[in-house]
Amino acid sequence: MTIHKEGYSTIAWSTLVFGIINILSFYFLSFELPWLNWIIFAGTLGLLIFLISFFRIPNRNLTIDEHAIVAPADGTVVAIEEVQADEYFSDRRIQVSIFMSPLNVHVNRNPVSAEVVYSQYHKGKYLVAWHPKSSTENERHSVVYRKNGKEILVKQIAGALAKRIVNYLKAGQQAEQTQEMGFIKLGSRVDLLLPLDADIKVKIGDKPQGGVTVVATW
């Protein structure tokens, strides 16, 4: 397991704050209120460990398959439905939505090896990720991949807790399957808009692993 680069400064500052709080706690509380000193230590240590785990990148055997569309994120499949596309596309698409909790791995990965033909950030609200309008009204970043004349859209969506979306892709570049496309701090949700003839391999309630689980084939 390694730590994602997006977490370096956050973890450094958090470790500094952890040290300062506990030095002050030990100095002022350890003799008169030792039990409170231990509670503060345990609580701040737990928060620091959670923060470190939030930026973890676990070692995995990633899936490389030219016919597969792999999960761009860890989480839980919360929607599989045919929708009218509201960005870039004008046709109907199959939408697969993956909800990311604060406990999930937060690295987002390219679902396919393909040309990036569209990469657009949108300012927006911070509705809870399962809100029906979160995919169209929340802060988000959309990327369209084109391969062999077919296109898919991946949408990183912020939520009530997630306040920052990071995306590394630009239109015109070649993306490699399972390589990092971005990061959503504190989770939220990732939507895939797939062609109607895509063969969906997951169901609602499944818990895919980013870069590993095959969501669909084409």
User: What values do phi and psi take at 14, rounded to 5?
Assistant: -65, -40
128: left (phi over 0), alpha (psi -120 to 50) or beta: beta
Say whether 188 is catalytic: yes
Catalytic residue among 97, 134, 135, 188: 188
Asked if residue 76 lies in contact with residue 50, where contact means CB atoms within 8 angstroms, the answer is no
| Structure token digits, residue 18 | 């952890």
CA dist 113 and 176 (Å) reads 4
20: left (phi over 0), alpha (psi -120 to 50) or beta: alpha
CA dist 174 and 25 (Å) reads 52
Catalytic residues: 188
